Every structure is written in structure tokens, then in C-alpha cells.
Amino acid sequence: MFNVQMLQRKQQLGTLGCLLPESRREKGAIILEMKDRGYCSEKKIHWNRRLQKQLILDDLHVRSMQNRIRKMVSSHSVEASQIQIPLASGINLQTLNYIVTMGLGNQNMTVIIDTGSDLTWVQCEPCMSCYNQQGPVFKPSTSSSYNSILCNSSTCQSLQSATGNTGPCAGNQSACNYAVNYGDGSYTNGELGVEHLSFGGISVSNFVFGCGRNNKGLFGGVSGLMGLGRSYLSLISQTNDTFGGVFSYCLPTIEAGSSGSLVMGNESSVFKNLTPVAYTSMVPNPQLSNFYILNLTGIDVGGVALEALSFGNGGILIDSGTVITRLAPSIYKALKAEFLKQFSGYPSAPGFSILDTCFNLTGYQEVSIPTISMYFEDNAELNVDVAGIFYIVKEDASQVCLALASLSDEDDIAIIGNYQQRNQRVIYDIKQSKVGFAGESCSFT
């Protein structure tokens, strides 16, 4: 049941001040509080404009990701070591909605999480060109544990494909530079450094990260980005000895005061899942080895299975940086038709950006909406929470849209966006090469 009036009231409350996400240690795991990126936004953007902007940027994000995937697949003759770290990921940080706080040296940094990126980076002083950041910029000069990585070091040489260092070093003392360019013209570049990483009382030494000296883009006022991808440069790989290559999250809604959690480590006793965890194997793909790709075997709407469709076309990518789930045109068309068949009798409304199935629910207190479930190899399933089915465009509910969209081409890879992952415990186990799902009402407490 979808409560229209209650949702309107929650969205109109706004934020009640800005407290940065916290962290704690519990039963051998580290739990980081997770909040929507807009929670601590300095500028309160008009609701409709914020959503419009979010979807436009999400469209850019997906288009850029598809282009990058095509290039990676087409370069199949390149050695695996040369395609391990595609740093042009995340694409547009405005669409990466969830933030956590981590300790870097003796300073706390609030960063956006992204399972589609590998490099963790923050803005650093002295900064040649930095975007406006809430809170202090990281100062390497005040940290006794910070060290730059030199260009002629073995560490830098092993990371050449990731850092953008394609030419010879300028000198023995030159820094190991990195450059990350995103799809919308945003970028960060600077040098790689090592520092103590900490959260929840656990410290990890010699953590390699990007110290950004020249950064531009819509990064939402946060310190930088936390890369949770699969390559050896990602935070997960670098903390493997501490957390065993396992992490999970529960993404909250954008309601005022909502928070979720990012759990580092394989300690399921700290989960608050309402349904058992069901695991599915990751699809091995040497050309896209840094992404989390699953084998989608079916979808049902309101208990009715979508039939005679090929769900396994290259797998489906699960990504915390994409907002709206994208499906192949034929699959989306079938899903839309079944949804409209079951959700009938309500006045239609104009489409909104990438969303083409919208309704006018003004005057309704609550409506019964069809459930949406995704099925994967090994009998795992993702039952989309009610908060992930409708996208509220207008606060008066005069424009409420089905929160899924079609890809432009049948051959593009499908993506499960963060909107459909809300109120789910999603577990990533890199060592066992599997992803798990369980329903959970997200909270940090």
C-alpha cells in the first residue's frame, strides 16, 4: 500500500539541521551511518527542480557508463592488467546520493559512496582549484602519517593504468599524478598519497588515495568520493586483510531524518534484515571485471511473471551511482504494460524526463500499487520496496511516475539503480564472488 498523504507530509518537513554521519564498532564489524547526499546540502533546491536535475544527470551518467562499457568490451585484445582499473567511473557525482564519514589521518572526511568507482579521493590543500566544500579541506601538511607516492616508485609504476601517468617521470622527486574525468565535464586530478584510514575505531595503514588539487563539478559540497569497486585500488581491496573483502549497505529513503548503514566486514549478526539473505553469483566478465554484474533470470509485476523475454543479455549491473533502474527496451515495454494493466483507473500525467509512465494521484490518501520483484541465478530475489516503485515529481502528487526507465538499445547492459535498492540489505562478497539481498527497514541505530 502506497500512502500518498504521509509521503507528502514527510517530504515537506525538510531537514532538521545537519549532523554528519557517524560510525561505530559492533560485534567485530564497522558500521557507518549513511545519509542521502542532499541531507547536508547548503542550498535547498526547489523540489521539482532538484528532481528534474537529478534525472537529467542520471541520464548522462548511464549514457557515459554505456559508452565506457562498449569501449572496454571492444578492446578485448588488451591484456587484463591494462583494463583492471577504469577510473572514468561514477561519471557524474551529482547522482551518487549517499554519503558516509571516514577518518583520513587526523581529519574526518564526508564522502560519497560509489560501487562503480575504484579510487577514493578527497580535496587537498594547497588546492589550485577546488569546488565549495562544507567543512575543512584535507591538509596533508598537518598529518604526520601522510606520505606522497613518488612517480618513480614501484607503487606508482604498478598503478600507471589507473593514474593516467603514461609518460616518463619528470624527475626522481615528482609526484605520482592521477587524473579522473567524468562524463559531464567534472574532474579531479592531483597526486596519489598514503595515509591512515579509520572508521569506528579501526585504523588501516598505508591506504592509497587521491589527493585532489584541481577539482571541478557538482560534488554536492562533500570532501570527495569513496571507491567501492572490485579492483586492487578500491577501498574494499585495500582493506581486505581487515574486512575480508565483504561489505554491505542499506540505502535509506530521502525523508527528513532518514539514515542507513554501510557495514564493513562479514558480520551478519549486525544486520536488521526482515527476510533471509539470498545470494546470487556474480557473472564473470574479464572485460568488465571491476563491475558487479549479476544474472537476471526474471521479473514479475504484482505476482505476474513477464514471459518470453531474454533476461540474460550480458547480465545486469548493480550500481550505487545510478539512480533509476534501466532495462532493455523489450523488457521495460513488457513491465510497463503489465503495470498499467494492474494499476488502472487512475488519471495519467505527463512524462517527466526519462520517466514515461506517470499518474495524477491528487486527492488520494493511499493507493494499492503492484509489487515488483527481480529474480536472479541461485534463486535469489530482490523485492523492490514500495519506496522504490514510484518517483514523486510534484509534492501535491499531481505527477507521480513509475521509477524505472528503458535503455536506448537492446544491446546496452541493464542496471539496477539505487532507487530500487532502498530498504534492502545488499551484501557484496568479493572473495566468494556473490551478492546477497534481504529486505530491511534501514536505520543506523
As a whole number of angstroms, the distance between CA 133 and CA 329 comes to: 39
Q: Is the dihedral of CA 181, 206, 246, 241 positive or negative?
A: positive
- Of the candidates 59, 319, 385, 412, the residue annotated as catalytic is 319
As a whole number of angstroms, the distance between CA 175 and CA 156 comes to: 9
Say which residues have a Cβ less than 8 Å from residue 167's Cβ, sequence separation at least 6.
Answer: none
385 is catalytic: no
- Of the candidates 114, 118, 300, 385, the residue annotated as catalytic is 114
Is 223 in contact with 121 (CB distance < 8 Å)? no
As a whole number of angstroms, the distance between CA 11 and CA 28 comes to: 36
Is 292 in contact with 281 (CB distance < 8 Å)? no
Distances (CA, A) of 265 to 100, 382, 433: 16, 22, 15
Q: Which one, of 133, 78, 136, lies nearest residue 104 by Cα?
A: 136
For the chain, give percent helix, strand, coil, nearest 5: 20, 35, 45
Residue 394: all three cell numbers together: 510534484
Residue 75: all three cell numbers together: 578492446
300 is catalytic: no
Number of residues that make up the chain: 445
Residue type at 368 in one-letter notation:
S
Say which residues have a Cβ less than 8 Å from residue 364's Cβ, sequence separation at least 6.
Answer: 4, 346, 397
Q: Which one, of 37, 26, 33, lies nearest residue 254 by Cα?
A: 37
Question: Which residues have a catalytic role annotated?
Answer: 114, 319
